[in-house]
Structure 1
Amino acid sequence: MNYNLNQTATAAEQKKSTLAALRKLLDLIREEKRTLILAFIIIFINAGLSLLGPYLIGHTIDTYIQSKQYDGVIRYSAILLVLYMVAFATNYLQMIMMGGVGIRMLYSLRNAVFTKLQELPVDFFNQNKAGDLISRINNDTDKLNQFFSQSLMQFISSIFTMLGAGIFLLSINLELGSAALLPALIIWIFTKAISPWVKRKNAANLKSTGGLSAEIQESLNNFKVIIAFNRRDYFRKRFDEANQKNYSTAVSAGLANNIFTPVFGFSSNLGQLVVLAFGIYLITTGSFTIGLLISFLAYVNSFYHPLRQLAGLWANFQVAMAGWDRISQILSLDTNLEVIENSISEPASSYLSFRDVSFTYPNGKEVLHHVNFNLERGKTYAFVGPTGGGKTTTASLIARLYDATTGTILLDGKDIRSYHPEERTNKIGFILQEPFLFTGTVRDNILYGNPEYKNLSNDELAAVIKESGLESLLSRFDSGLDSKVQTTGDGISLGQKQLIAFMRSVLRKPELLILDEATANIDTITEQLLENILQKLPATTTRVIIAHRLNTIENADEIFFVNSGEVVPAGSLADAVNLLLHGKRES
């Protein structure tokens, strides 16, 4: 399955994806429905109060100021003061409410994205850079939060104010109102035509920001190698290229976002000019008053000032939607490792069986071709072969990191796809050549994947480790279970990391234990110690060893040779050596 997030989708796919994404966005803020409705009501009240002011000012001028009735002026001034104070309070209240909505939405959205990432298969992470995914979780979600918490209510308030001002303009004088609103038609046509282009520019900028983040992460993660080979120039060049691309897209996005402001400003000035010229003409004909003209100019300003604000808000909206498109790409994905319900079981003659299994990586060549073999319970099997022959792929299929392209893998008589992840991982232990640890202590990393021990004290856990024959491994750490583990520092060697991973897997007592070059970074004495520990595993535990060092497989019950898409019995250790030397199966 293709999980490449940077692959260009067709227009129809983008439209379908956007509609699905908007539905997901509404689901995320469903719990905020009551708060949003209340905020909308407050916005409506605020807009109504603000729009009532110009009419009262015009009425005061025509009725009281021209006739010099100053008691009426004072009375209406007090009314206006109360209106504006209430409008200030409602405006502040809706800002507080929407700020809370934005923060809660950001929290939920980041949780949703991270949870989705945890559900996706290894395929997804092979096809996408971690730095870009981090940028989507941090940067893109923040763009959406900024729009919701800062811009959305202002956006809606501007719409309400514009609609109300337009209604007042048309109701006071239809001809003058129509002339005043004519420039808005120009803005609508321009906005509709230019918005897709602005969104594309912002999407390109967010994508380049993700690429820049990926370059930074890669260079920092491999800094030791950069220093060792003195290749700062290489990564500096790659960073400069990514930074230059990000700079170019940022400039383009900035120009696109700012294109609305001058057009909206010109239309606003044009509308006011039309009202002033036409209004003075109507006054000279006796069909209009000075107070109404002042009110009219205030309503024109109430219509076009929010419109000028909408220029910036619409640009923010385009940025938010570009970010949401990138986020929704992740949320719309589903794992291709689905659990098959109601799978038929059969009597298990072998603990694990590959039946006519073929496997091809996305956009790659076939790695395994119609493979068949059986593994018996309680035996030790070794898989050997040249680099790139398919050994790790075979182990990954056994652990169901991937699904076979064709064929079936049976685990204890059941299709491996019928096991739920918890059930499958309880049966299978996997020790990688480069094990992943968390920053913390040895205890923290041992308990990862062994939740049944989490309530034990250090002494009780040490007793469990001793009972499993792992005490000698724990003694390699100066502070025992409290020894610090730094995944990015020099406080712990790669060999020690493998010892922790070994303890973590053995304590689970899995029915099937896979060791993928698990002793590659361990000295010969420690390797022999690990072999003795493996012998203490339950007699029913099946062991699968993938190795290049032949001394690690000399005690295997059966050896398989993996190369050129085939997995075939290799015979004795000497036969395996011969196959490795010749790189093929002898006929």
Structure 2
Amino acid sequence: MIKIFKRLSFKELGVMLTAIILIIASVWVELKVPGYMSEITQLLQNPQVKVSDIYDPGSKMIGLSVIGLILSILVVFLSARLAASFASELRRDVFDSVMDYSTAELQDFSIPSLLTRTTNDIVQIQMFLAMGLQIIVRGPMMALMAVGKISTKNVEWLWVTFAALALMLTTIIILLSFVLPKQKLVQGLTDRLNRIMRESLSGMRVIRAYNAEDYQTDKFSEANQELTGINLFIYRSMSIMNPLMMMVSNGLTLGVYWVGAYLISAAVFQEKIVLFSDMIVFSSYGMQVVIGFMMMTMIFIILPRTMVSARRVTEVLDTNSSLIYPSQALQEIDQGSLIFKDVSFAYPDAAKPVLEKISFQVEPGQTLAFIGSTGSGKSSLINLIPRLFDVTKGDIILNGHSIKDYPRQRLNEIIGYVPQRSVLFSGTIQSNIDFGDSSQSPLDEAAIWEAIDIAQAKDFVSEKEEQLNSHVAQNGTNFSGGQKQRLAIARAIARKPQIIIFDDSFSALDYQTDRKLRQILLEKTKEMTKIIVGQRISTIMDADQIIVIEKGQIVGKGSHKELLETNKVYQEIAYSQLNKEELDNGK
């Protein structure tokens, strides 16, 4: 927890120091008031006293109360400003860290957990700064200064105060021994609840199609009830604090007056007046001591969750991407060449590699295609090219250099990537096509329309009333699957990369659109090296080189005609989709 607060800037530390000074001044002012109350009490015992005699101590009491109010308002303002500023910077740092993560780190944390850490956990830290600063400083200061004030008074009253504090602290320790372990579970259960909620929302169509609403509801209810149960236990346990504090404070007042009654009864007349005045003052200071300790106990209510939240946020900030990129640019030898040299790859903590001894070469401008059964490792292989993961063994040579030698921005300029699941961002069609930075940025309308035309998306884009300025909902939910794929393809083409990767990116297209798109890609992007992962033979049969993947290994390599004659795996896939005449004619 201390580690995360080391991120406070000098300006924020200055605001914190100012707030602490104001809190100490506020406590000092509040503890001066009972002294004037004692003075007024003594004056009232004198039959000769005039109303004007009370004006001086009374006006000082009012003045100190107003000053205390102003100081408290300033402390609240500074604490809130400090907490909001630090939370904003912390949220930005977490976001920046997550944006640098590789796919491996994202999988380690999970998306629901990262969302909780970025929102709920940082809010906990913000609340601790806003409230805790006042509690941590004001509570101990008030208790210590009040004890210092009453320590010179009557010993009997002091013992009554210590007895009240002992009762209060014993109860608090017992309560916290039950509550603290439960507090540590809350954030993890919040992650679980968010994960189920996100899963339910993203899979709503499937849930309804399979009449699985009750199953998903039961799963959510179970997680919700577990979280609710722990929260109820915590808050019910801590709710005992309020009546306890009332009992202690009222008991302390009663105890002080009870002891005072005996002391005053045993004293002579002049001493009775002094004792009565001291009893009023002692009662006020005793209440300040109790309030001080009450404030300190509030720390233990918010501290455990804050410590857990701080640890979780620190984990995100301390985790560095497993992918290291150099900063110095390279002198590239080729423009679009790619070589796999005996590449093997295994996912973190996997028992066996998903790819073994993969070797091939593709020349600039050629079309390379991969095909294989589901789970054969095609997408895993493709993910290695843009360095979504690093190879376990071997090397990948891009334009004469290892891909590990390229700065991230340059690597992303060279490689265009269209993933299996088309992703569109909320905004407009134009903002989605002209997305990010590339060697072509910023794109003009002519370049955007050219990319849209090549991707066979011009027909539905031009039909829209606002065309390029047409609204795109989050994740492109206002477009069909085929339309989303074509817009994603257009986005990659518009960057004019040297190598463009299509990871099963034609699956939602009809056969006619698929063929037109591949034909126009061949004509208008001759300089680009095209890498296609496909499930349909018709999508890949025109490629210069086709590689057949089976169980993470290359089991066939060659042209469509060569593989159709010699490769059994390719034959099985091909004849399951097209007849002999269609395969021979390349349709």
Rounded Cα–Cα distance in structure 2 between residues aligned with 1:195 and 1:359? 49
Residue 446 of structure 1, CA deviation:
0.2
Q: Aligned residue for 1:470?
A: 454
1: CA distance between counterparts of 2:166 and 2:341? 68
Judged with a 3 Å threshold, the aligned counterparts in structure 2 of structure 1 residues 471 and 251 are, in CA distance, closer, same or farther, namely closer
The answer on whether the counterparts of 1:512 and 1:542 sit within 8 Å (CA) in structure 2 is: yes
Please name the residue that 2:277 is paired with. 291
Which residue identity does 1:25 align to in structure 2?
F
Distance of aligned partners of 1:528 and 1:346 in 2 relative to their CA distance in 1, 3 Å threshold: closer
Residue matched to 1:14: none
* Paired position in structure 2 for 1:513: 500
Alpha-carbon distance in structure 2 between the residues aligned to 1:51 and 1:548 = 80
Of 401, 417, 432, the match for 2:404:
417
Distance between the aligned counterparts of 2:557 and 2:177, measured in 1?
A: 61
- 1:281 shift after superposition: 5.2
Q: Which residue of 2 aligns with 1:220?
A: 201
For residues 467-486 of structure 1, give each alpha carbon's deviation from its aligned partner in whole angstroms, at most 9, with x where no partner exists.
Answer: 89538532332223123323
* Residue identity opposite 1:475 in structure 2: D
- Separation of aligned partners in 2, 1:392 and 1:326: 32
CA distance in 2, matches of 1:127, 1:43: 43
> Does the CA-based 8 Å contact 1:205-1:250 persist in structure 2?
yes
Alignment deviations for residues 27-47 of structure 1 (CA, whole Å, 9 cap, x no partner): 145431222222112111111
1:125 deviates by: 2.9
Q: Is residue 440–residue 495 contact of structure 2 (8 Å, CA) maintained in 1?
A: no
Deviation at residue 415 of structure 1 after TM alignment? 2.6
Name the residue aligned to 1:431.
418
SS of the aligned residue for 1:476 comes to helix
Question: What one-letter code is carried by the residue in structure 2 that aligns with 1:250?
Answer: N
Distance (whole Å) between structure 2 residues aligned to residue 526 and residue 349 of structure 1? 29
Correspondence 1:75-474 to 2 at 5 A: 75-173=56-154, 176-177=157-158, 180-181=161-162, 183-184=164-165, 195=176, 198-258=179-239, 260-261=241-242, 268=249, 271-272=252-253, 275-276=256-257, 278-280=259-261, 283=264, 289-340=275-326, 351-365=337-351, 366-450=353-437, 460-462=444-446, 465-466=449-450, 470=454, 472-474=456-458
How has the CA–CA distance of structure 1 residues 530 and 582 changed in structure 2, closer, same or farther, with 3 Å as cutoff?
closer
Q: For residues 95 and 260 of structure 1, what CA distance do their matches in structure 2 show?
A: 24
Distance in 2, matches of 1:33 and 1:412, equals 50
Q: Match for residue 27 of structure 1?
A: 7
Amino acid at match of 1:549: R
C-alpha distance 273-412 of structure 1, shift in aligned 2 (>3 A)? farther
Structure 1: 5+ residue stretches without partners: 1-17
Once the two structures are superposed, residues 127-160 of structure 1 have per-residue CA deviations (whole angstroms, 9 ceiling, x without a partner) of 4443343233222322332332345324422222
Contact 2:364 2:527 in 1 (8 A): yes
Q: Which deviates the most, 436-445 or 301-310?
A: 301-310
**TM-score between both structures, scaled by the size of structure 1:** 0.86
Residue in 1 that maps onto 2:577: none
Deviation of 1:394 after TM superposition, in Å, equals: 0.4
Aligned AA (2:408): P
* Gap regions ≥5 residues in structure 2: 574-587
Shift of 1:329: 2.7
C-alpha displacement at 1:539, in angstroms?
Answer: 4.2
Matched, 1:55 2:35: yes
Which residue in the other structure is 2:49 paired with?
Answer: 69
CA separation in 2, counterparts of 1:320 and 1:267? 28
| Deviation for aligned residue 1:300 | 0.7
Q: d(CA) in 1 for partners of 2:383 and 2:566?
A: 22
Task: Give me the whole-angstrom Cα distance separating, in 1, the residues matched to 2:331 and 2:240.
Answer: 65
Aligned mates of 2:327, 2:446 — CA distance in 1 = 40
For residue 579 of structure 1, what is the aligned residue in structure 2?
569
Matched, 1:503 2:490: yes
The 1:561/1:489 distance shift into structure 2, 3 A limit, reads closer
Change (3 A) 1:466 1:241: same
Shift of the 467–325 alpha-carbon distance from structure 1 to 2, 3 Å rule, reads: closer
Identify the range of structure 1 (199-208 vs 254-263) with the bigger mean alpha-carbon deviation. Answer: 254-263
Q: Single out whichever of 40-49 and 278-287 deviates more from structure 2.
A: 278-287
Report if aligned partners of 1:65, 1:73 keep a CA contact under 8 Å in 2: no
> 2:284 & 2:300 partners in 1: Cα distance?
24
* Aligned-residue offset at 1:520: 0.5
CA contact (8 A) 1:345 1:415 kept: no
**How far has the Cα of 1:442 moved from its partner?**
1.2
Q: CA deviation at 1:193?
A: 7.3
Change (3 A) 1:80 1:390: same
Instruction: Please say which of residues 509-518 and 172-181 is displaced more in the overlay.
Output: 172-181
Matched residues in 2 for 1:385 and 1:234: separation? Answer: 35
Of 556, 562, 565, the residue aligned with 2:543 is: 556
**How far apart in 2 are the matches of 1:189 and 1:402?**
55
CA shift, 1:271, in A, is 4.9
TM-score, structure 2 normalization: 0.86
CA distance in structure 2 between the partners assigned to 1:453 and 1:423 by the alignment: 12
Range that drifts further, 443-452 or 51-60 = 443-452
Q: 1:494 to 1:278 in 2, by over 3 A?
A: same
Q: Give the conservation status (yes or no) of the 8 Å contact 1:382–1:558.
A: yes
Q: Is the 8 A contact 1:450 1:504 kept in 2?
A: no
Say which SS state the counterpart of residue 6 (structure 2) adopts. Answer: helix
What letter matches 2:37 in structure 1?
Answer: I
Q: Sequence identity, in percent? A: 25
Residue 8 of structure 1 corresponds to none
Tell me which amino acid in the other structure corresponds to 2:74: L
Counterpart of 2:21, as a letter, is I
Q: Secondary structure at the match of 1:239?
A: helix
The Cα of 1:25 is off from its aligned counterpart by 2.8
Deviates most, 280-289 or 414-423: 280-289
Cα offset, 1:67, TM superposition: 5.8
What is the alpha-carbon root mean square deviation over aligned residues? Answer: 3.2
- Give the drift of 1:342: 7.5
How big is each residue's C-alpha offset from its partner over 1:230-256, in whole Å with a ceiling of 9 and x where there is no partner?
Answer: 222222222222222222222233234
Amino acid at match of 1:34: G
Report deviation, 1:312.
3.6
Q: 1:274 to 1:358 in 2, by over 3 A?
A: farther
Per mean C-alpha deviation after superposition, the further-off stretch among 197-206 and 118-127 is 197-206
What SS does the aligned partner of 1:206 have?
Answer: helix
Total equivalences in the alignment? 560
TM-superposed CA distance for 1:81, in Å, is 1.0
Deviation at 1:220, TM superposition (A): 1.6
In structure 2, what is the Cα distance between the partners aligned to 1:136 and 1:99? 21
SS of structure 1 residue aligned to 2:151: helix
Q: Tell me the residue number matched to 1:45.
A: 25
Secondary structure at the counterpart of residue 475 of structure 1 = helix
Q: Structure 2: how far apart are the matches of 1:242 and 1:282?
A: 60
- 3-state SS in 2 of match to 1:384: strand
User: Does the CA contact (< 8 Å) of 1:559 and 1:570 recur in 2?
Assistant: yes
Deviations 1:401-427 (CA, angstroms, capped at 9, x unpaired): 011233332322333223222111101
Give the whole-Å Cα distance in 2 for the aligned partners of 1:319 and 1:266.
28
Q: Secondary structure at the match of 2:302?
A: helix
8 Å CA contact 2:330–2:406 kept in 1: the answer is: no
Contact preservation (8 Å) 1:258, 1:312? no
Distance 2:545 2:189 in 1: 51
**1:278–1:497: structure 2 CA closer, same or farther, 3 Å change rule?**
same
2:578 corresponds to which residue? Answer: none
Q: Distance in 2 between matches of 1:418 and 1:470?
A: 32
Q: For structure 1, which segment, 215-224 or 131-140, has the greater mean C-alpha deviation from structure 2 after superposition?
A: 131-140
**Alignment check: 8 A CA contact 2:336 2:529 kept:** no
User: Contact 2:343 / 2:355 at 8 angstroms: preserved in 1?
Assistant: yes
Q: Structure 2: which amino acid aligns with 1:65?
A: Q
Query: Aligned equivalents of 2:227 and 2:162: distance in 1?
Result: 40
Distance 1:170 1:389 in 2: 80
The one-letter code sitting in structure 1 at the alignment partner of 2:546 is I
